[in-house]
Amino acid sequence: MPGFLLHFGATVLCAHAGQAQPTSPNPRVLVSGQPIVLQPMPYMLAGCPFLTPAGNPLPCVTATWVTGATRVLSNGLPVLLLDSQAICAPNGTPLMITVTQTRVTGM
């Protein structure tokens, strides 16, 4: 499915509202003046308040993207799109892309 390209300034949250940021954006391609993000690059999370049913903290720490663009590559790697899916570690919850640029689409 086509979707907007994910860029460094996009708002990405874990399912518990922790803030996610890419570890290494791709500076070769800019959209809205900011670098795009590629699928193999993990995200780091901060501020995840998740607790286990026993009350022990188990916050989301990193996220790995499992889907990306199928037709748009940068440096030979798939770019991330608005509909890309990621899984957080260590608890397996998803990431949610809430805000991204709306000028450039990919597939």
How far, in Å, CA of 70 to CA of 53, rounded? 38
pLDDT at 1: 67
pTM: 0.92
pLDDT at 93: 96
Tokens of 63: 């996220």
N-to-C CA span, the chain: 6
Q: For 27-47, how does the pLDDT look when each residue is reduced to its tens digit (9 = 90+)? A: 999 999 999 999 999 999 999
Tokens of 94: 């998803």
Q: Which three-class secondary structure state does DSSP give residue 4?
A: strand
CATH number at residue 28: 2.60.200
Write the CA distances from 3 to 17, 29, 46, integer angstroms: 23, 17, 26
State the burial class of residue 12 (Cβ atoms within 10 Å of its Cβ: 0-12, 13-18, 19+): buried
Question: Confidence band (pLDDT; 50, 70, 90) for 9?
Answer: very high
Question: Confidence band (pLDDT; 50, 70, 90) for 2?
Answer: confident
Q: For 48-106, how does the pLDDT look when each residue is reduced to its tens digit (9 = 90+)? A: 999 999 999 999 999 999 999 999 999 999 999 999 999 999 999 999 999 999 999 99
Q: For 12-31, how does the pLDDT look when each residue is reduced to its tens digit (9 = 90+)? A: 999 999 999 999 999 999 99
pLDDT at 96: 97
Residues spanned by the domain of 46: 3-106
Count of structural domains, the chain: 1
Helix (H) or strand (E) holding 30, with range, is: strand 26-31
